[in-house]
């Protein structure tokens, strides 16, 4: 059952739907009294600073009192919110890779099972596969440790219907070199990702580090840090022959979701900027070798984090809109 806000009983429990906002205000240095005033002014919540104090104490005793971002909402609001995220996440991530379905067409495919005339069958299959991969991500939220098998399952989802090739396997590491092209010193330049022979060892290191980071997204800043590390380190390796970008944008959201945040989605409209940021870092640090650091420090990482923080606003706004609907319903 969803959490229903009781506006007639002023207590710390009704602050649950506003958890992320309270944490953000605390990070900004606001006092408990000031936070209570913001909640009264912006949301009409009849709370005192004592209620905020006891809520934060309760939260300290249970670091993740409500793990999933949609849990505070009743079933109808939750369902609508999840549909929004599924459509946006699927459309944006597949469109970045060249899928031609619009957001509206993606919604029709996912919700109505329609076939869009004039659009390739491949584009429909990519949408279905990505939606299935999102479900797999949610199914992993209670998993203590992410394994190769989980990554291989995700790859099979996003790459479903792709013809099996010994050097380009689906659900296993790449068997041949892959790379990317960008501009260096005004000239087109091709740069390889990690070699196929180094990939298993590098992914063993990536998984070990990633599992340590699963529960570290305990604030918005730390959430951005964990997403950036997981994404950049994963695409430096580029462990699969194809589908790496979609997998990076899926798996990097696990720490955020496990900490009660909504997923961070990268808009298709900012595809060029996003690709440039990835290239700038890859170009700066060079090809990843077997024993080298997975993510050596460089100013380009800060640029990528700034970009991610901007993109995350869309998801946070969707949750806030759902919260406002709940508040209005219970006035």
User: Residues 130, 150, 155, 238: which is the catalytic one?
Assistant: 238
- pLDDT, one tens digit per residue, over 174-228 is 999 999 998 888 889 899 999 999 999 999 999 999 999 999 998 999 999 999 9
What CATH number has the domain bearing residue 312?
Answer: 1.10.3290.10
Domain count, the chain: 2
Q: Answer yes or no: is pLDDT of 49 > 90.
A: no
Asked, for residue 329, whether it belongs to a domain, the answer is no
| Close Cβ partners of 27 (under 8 Å, ≥ 6 residues apart) | 219, 220, 221
Residue 293: band (very low, low, confident or very high) from pLDDT cuts 50, 70, 90 = very high
Asked, for residue 6, whether it belongs to a domain, the answer is no
147, 202: one domain = yes
Structure tokens, 182: 């960008």
Asked, for residue 35, whether it belongs to a domain, the answer is yes
52, 154: one domain = no
Q: Which residue has the higher pLDDT, 170 or 56?
A: 170
Euclidean distance between CA atoms 230 and 210, whole angstroms:
7
User: DSSP assignment, residue 18?
Assistant: G
294, 190: one domain = yes
CA dist list (Å): 149 to 98, 154, 173 = 27, 9, 11
Burial of 212 (0-12, 13-18, 19+ CB in 10 A): exposed
Note whether 169 and 200 are within 8 A (CB).
no
Q: Shortest CA distance to 247 belongs to which of 119, 110, 317, 146? A: 146
80, 169: one domain = yes
DSSP string computed for 216-245: ---SHHHHHHHHHHHHHHHHHH--SSS-HH
91 included as an active-site residue = no
215, 262: one domain = yes
User: DSSP assignment, residue 100?
Assistant: -
- pLDDT, one tens digit per residue, over 87-99 is 999 999 999 999 9
44, 93: one domain = no
Q: Is the dihedral of CA 131, 3, 310, 213 positive or negative?
A: negative
Euclidean distance between CA atoms 220 and 20, whole angstroms:
8
45, 90: one domain = no
Residue 55: what pLDDT?
81
128, 46: one domain = no
Range of the domain at 31: 12-66
């Amino acid at each position: 059952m969803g959490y229903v806000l009781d506006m007639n009983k002023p207590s710390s429990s009704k602050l649950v739907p506003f958890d992320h906002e309270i944490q953000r205000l605390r990070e900004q240095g606001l006092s408990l009294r000031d936070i209570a005033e913001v909640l009264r002014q912006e949301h009409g919540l009849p709370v005192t600073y004592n209620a905020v104090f006891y809520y934060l104490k309760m939260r300290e005793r249970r670091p993740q009192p409500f793990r999933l971002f949609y849990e505070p909402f009743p079933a109808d609001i939750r369902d609508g919110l999840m549909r929004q995220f599924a459509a946006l996440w699927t459309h944006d991530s597949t469109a970045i890779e060249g899928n031609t379905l619009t957001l509206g067409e993606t919604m029709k495919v996912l919700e109505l099972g329609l076939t869009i005339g004039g659009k390739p069958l491949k584009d429909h299959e990519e949408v279905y596969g990505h939606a299935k991969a999102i479900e797999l991500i949610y199914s992993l939220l209670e998993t203590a440790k992410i394994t190769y098998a989980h990554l291989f399952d995700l790859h099979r989802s996003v790459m479903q219907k792709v013809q099996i090739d010994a050097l380009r396997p689906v659900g296993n590491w790449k068997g041949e070199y892959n790379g990317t092209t960008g501009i260096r010193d005004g000239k087109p330049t091709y740069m390889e990702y990690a070699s196929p022979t180094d990939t298993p060892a590098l992914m063993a290191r990536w998984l070990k580090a990633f599992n340590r980071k699963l529960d570290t997204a305990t604030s918005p800043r730390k959430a951005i840090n964990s997403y950036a590390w997981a994404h950049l380190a994963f695409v430096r390796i580029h462990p699969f022959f194809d589908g790496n970008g979609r997998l990076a944008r899926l798996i990097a959201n696990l720490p955020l979701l496990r900490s009660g945040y909504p997923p961070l989605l990268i808009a298709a409209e900012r595809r060029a900027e996003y690709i440039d940021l990835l290239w700038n870092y890859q170009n700066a640090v060079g090809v990843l070798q077997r024993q080298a650091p997975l993510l050596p420090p460089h100013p380009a990482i800060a640029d990528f984090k700034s970009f991610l923080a901007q993109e995350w606003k869309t998801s946070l706004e969707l949750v806030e809109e759902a919260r406002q609907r709940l508040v209005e319903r219970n006035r």
